[in-house]
Structure 1
């Protein structure tokens, strides 16, 4: 609890300092914050190897881990992975494909998303980039919580498996503001249950909420998108964020709203250096 209190105290200090002018001596330090965040989980779970945190509850609960390893011999997400590969290669009506929209033809780049786009001053996630690609080529946008988006991101994640998250915060006050906004959302309580994201994923990872074992926030996005047994299918990051709000009896935001994109930016940055393990599977 002392370590948690230290994190929350650092959060409060950094939130206050975010109102200071750029270049202030009190300017938030994401590098130091990420190190403290990581150290908190390493100390909380000393028997868990750092890279194992990307496996969520399976890294914390040995019985669940054994069941997962058996299931993963015939991955439940395999159908979505194949569909995503097919969709990715299928030409748009103008003859171009998703590969024309991304560096390295879209292969092995998942670890670089989300990123801060200086030209528009906003965070761009992989899901947003995929729909922008579609719209730039005369196609309609996909539903952010739909199966097709889940399949596409599953395929792109699979091509990056093992590559470490490499999220940048450029020397731009707007990028730091996006990081701060994501952090603020992560720690803000909401909904009828008065929970924040941190309530479950910083304070109580490894504990049960109903039948679910709560995952640690460290590495939580590395396994996305995920197949969830309760969904009976694959789910995008957008789907997970909206369902989390619903589960605490809060009002979900619009998928890919600025708050959700900034939250994804913040959480991804904190997991820099941990490997991409998606697509994943959870109960």
Structure 2
């Protein structure tokens, strides 16, 4: 296990020359050794992949999922007219488009997430952009996640100079220690994955993007992946970045590529 951790640490080091494909393979190999009884793609379910008690509670909640209202509200918003009479379907068809995002847009020179694309659609049809903290944005993305359930995460490998720079910035963010606790994302989700922090198990990095937006019991609401990023920063005593900031979009880009081969399975329920 220590050998596997050292190999992964080297691969994810900001000084490593590993390709994205090598990073992904190192990550998968590490978790296969750390959790030999867990099929690697099962990490799309987070801690429910290895915490049986939590899994049973989760499956009971899924009988009447608390995110269902958000999905229904998102569907209504999705089918409502924009300023010029068009709707989101003119941009996204039936909404099953989660597997398109995030991607690196060469023309814009930046990572485009689903939330950016939603606002692009609104502006293209004469409507004002939504706040990335708004309930409307979260509910629209929850509906799109629902429509996209079962799609395989299959992000193109970053190859251009711009795409590789964005990927490596996301990777650097994930491996950089910050805040009063001097923790990196890898401190909890690589080195300590599967261990308990207070009363909860720490999830593996694989699958961190697969299930968002998610209904968190602590929030009593559906929230975005970037809201979770911000909360993680706050928990280690670091200043969070704005939602949909370049930092968080690059981080999402890195984590999505690492999770290639898993299934989009949002919205989900998390503690």
- In which range does the TM-score fall when normalised by the shorter chain? over 0.9
Return the TM-score normalized by structure 2: 0.95
- Cross-structure match for 1:127: 115
Return the TM-score normalized by structure 1: 0.91
CA RMSD of aligned residues (A): 1.4
Deviates more, 1:198-207 or 1:81-90: 198-207
Does 1:47 pair with 2:37? yes
SS of structure 2 residue aligned to 1:84: helix
Matched-pair contact (CA < 8 Å) for 2:149–2:264? yes
- Cross-structure match for 1:227: 215
- Cross-structure match for 1:68: 58
Measure how far apart 1:174 and its partner are: 0.8
Count of matched residue pairs: 270
Residue segments in structure 2 that go unaligned for 5+ positions in a row: none
Does 1:140 pair with 2:128? yes
- Cross-structure match for 1:98: 88
- Cross-structure match for 2:15: 16
- Cross-structure match for 1:167: 155
1:218-245 deviation digits (Å, cap 9, x = unpaired): 0111011100000010011121111111
1:103-152 deviation digits (Å, cap 9, x = unpaired): xx152220221001011111100111112222222222222233222211
- Cross-structure match for 1:151: 139
Alignment of 1:79-94 (within 5 A): 79-94=69-84
Matched-pair contact (CA < 8 Å) for 1:223–1:278? yes
Does 1:31 pair with 2:30? no
SS of structure 2 residue aligned to 1:277: coil
Does 1:241 pair with 2:229? yes
How far apart, CA to CA, are the structure 1 residues paired with 2:80 and 2:137?
14
How far apart, CA to CA, are the structure 1 residues paired with 2:194 and 2:87?
42
- Cross-structure match for 1:214: 202
- Cross-structure match for 2:8: 7
Does 1:56 pair with 2:55? no
Residues 146, 215 of structure 1: CA spacing in aligned structure 2 closer, same or farther, 3 A cutoff? Answer: farther
1:187-235 deviation digits (Å, cap 9, x = unpaired): 0011111111111111112222223321111011101110000001001
Measure how far apart 1:264 and its partner are: 0.3
How far apart, CA to CA, are the structure 2 residues paired with 1:34 and 1:75?
32
How far apart, CA to CA, are the structure 2 residues paired with 1:120 and 1:199?
33
Deviates more, 1:162-171 or 1:35-44: 162-171
How far apart, CA to CA, are the structure 2 residues paired with 1:50 and 1:11?
19
SS of structure 2 residue aligned to 1:116: strand
SS of structure 1 residue aligned to 2:111: strand
Deviates more, 1:216-225 or 1:2-11: 2-11
How far apart, CA to CA, are the structure 2 residues paired with 1:171 and 1:195?
30
- Cross-structure match for 1:21: none
How far apart, CA to CA, are the structure 1 residues paired with 2:161 and 2:131?
31
